[in-house]
Amino acid sequence: MMINCATLLTVNPANDVLHDVSVVISDSRIIDILPKKQSEKYHCQNIIDAQNHIVMPGFVNTHTHIGMAYFKGMADDLSLDTWLTKYIWPAEAKCINQTFVYDASLHGIAEMIKQGTTFFCDMYFLPQQTVKATTQAGIRAVISDIGMDIAIAGVHIPERNFSHLQQYQESVRDHPNIHFCLGVHSVYVCSQETWERAIQTAKEHDLILTTHLCETKKEVIDCQRLTGKSPVQYLYDLGAFEQRLLFAHGVHLSADDVKLIAGTPCSLSANLHSNLKLASGILPMSDYLKHNINVSIGTDSVASNNTLNMSAEISTAAKLFKAYYADPTFLPAVELVRMATINGAKALGAEQQTGSIEIGKYADLICIDVSSFLSQPIYDPYSHVVYSMNSSDISHVVVAGRLLMQDRNLLTIDESAVKERAKINTQKVKEITR
């Protein structure tokens, strides 16, 4: 495959922006990036004309629960505690089964591809169904179950927190696009014993550990009351930060907490829309950056967001933090594009493989159509991506050299079938939760 690009955001270490170049792909990887004039030496069967496009790496969404696709808009305008305990967990107990999670996962993946995500990190029940949908769609993913000490009838028993891990890993062993990680819900629904076992298991199997951390003030106050420590100090003392820990939210960290984890191999998944909608708070972005902590971007689930739209997340982040710190120079557009691409790949241990457009890496990229007058003028492509584009401008999505969307049409997922299953499953949710 060859993609002839008007503008290419490489997101390489120098943030090179190239014009009138061709990206040459063989099998799943980028084998050359060269001036279009010289591209005739390659005889490609599939040539994508991106003459009116910005081509960039696909978005990496580092925190999702895509099996919750049918809970979008079911319960809004509530606190996290009320939302989880009174609505989400009871609905999950009543609705979830294998088919439901598969259908919802495929729905979520379809939404992500449409909006330019090529790689995501998911944490949800019955993860084998998410693996099945991911395999069908051809997107890249790191997937985990939800480890927690709360039982949800028919869905989760705490005894199963670790027992299925080997089977899960075995199922994706030869899959180039899917890996497993270890999901532990949070400090507030997991005992110290569960955490110790998770940390030990992650060490033994060299797995990324992912969790929700310091999402609300209540979580911090409760942890301090129970353990005498902040959630960060508590997990730090248990050894959670000694290996790759990807924590979502990270809103209520003190300056000391951030200093404590500086230099550890952890990454943050910033979930701004979810935090804003649930009024959880605004994370201390400046502290994270000051201590060189890897900041990536996630959407959280559509039940709390209510979309999986990564370009909307970075657009909000750009403006929110400028206002928050009263500094219009804070978080320039290029930095946000890096957070939503290469930083996400780093958080998932895959920065040598994806997250930027460089020779040798997987061809995971998107084409943004800028032919409409709504997109004009463009002086700086980074500015366009962060401040101006709509996710519906994304016309092509490629993962591992395979086209998953062409001219805005999904190629690996039947959109009408997704709509039909959504209708049926949403009706079931309404009946069951009435």
DSSP 285: H
Q: What is the number of residues in the chain?
A: 434
Nearer to Zn ion among residue 9 and residue 347 (C-beta): 347
Task: Please state the closest distance from residue 399 (CB atom) to Zn ion, in A.
Answer: 23
In whole angstroms, give the CA distance from residue 93 to residue 69. Answer: 15
Size of the site for Zn ion (CB under 5 A): 1
Please name which of 343, 246, 356 lies closest in space to residue 296, comparing C-alpha atoms.
343
| Residue number, 30 or 142, with CB nearest to Zn ion | 142
Nearest approach, Cβ of residue 7 and Zn ion (Å) = 34
Name residues contacting Zn ion, limited to 286-345 (CB under 5 A).
300
Q: Which residue number, 183 or 401, has a Cβ lying nearer to Zn ion? A: 183
Q: Closest separation between CB of residue 249 and Zn ion, Å?
A: 7
CB of 150 to Zn ion, least distance (A): 15
Nearer to Zn ion among residue 185 and residue 244 (C-beta): 185
Whole-angstrom Cα distance, residue 270 to residue 328? 20
Instruction: Give the whole-angstrom CA distance, residue 394 versus residue 390.
Output: 8
Residue with nearest beta carbon to Zn ion: 300
Token pair listed for 310: 């990564």
Q: Which is nearer to Zn ion, 34 or 312 (CB)?
A: 312
Measured distance CA(128)–CA(247) in Å, rounded:
22
Longest dimension (CA), the chain: 68
C-alpha span between 121 and 101 (Å, rounded): 16
Show Cβ contacts of residue 302 under 8 Å, excluding neighbours closer than 6 positions: 68, 69, 71, 72, 108, 111, 308
Closer of 119 and 362 to Zn ion (Cβ): 119
Nearer to Zn ion, 145 or 300 (CB): 300
* Residue 62 CB, nearest approach to Zn ion (Å): 11
Residue closer to Zn ion by CB (options 310, 368) is: 310
User: What are phi and psi for residue 2, nearest 5 degrees?
Assistant: -130, 135
Minimum gap (Å) between residue 68 Cβ and Zn ion = 9
Minimum CB separation of residue 63 from Zn ion in Å reads 6
Helices 231-238 and 192-205 meet at what angle, rounded to 10?
50
Let me know the angle formed at the C-alpha of 120 by 270 and 180, rounded to the nearest 5 degrees.
110
Q: Which two tokens stand for residue 100?
A: 């439901």
Site membership for Zn ion, residue 393 (CB under 5 A): no
Contacting Zn ion within 192-211 (CB under 5 A): none
In the complex, the smallest distance separating the C-beta of residue 301 from Zn ion, rounded to whole angstroms, is 6
Neighbours of 329 (CB within 10 A): 7
Residues at the contact surface with Zn ion, assessed by CB under 5 A: 300
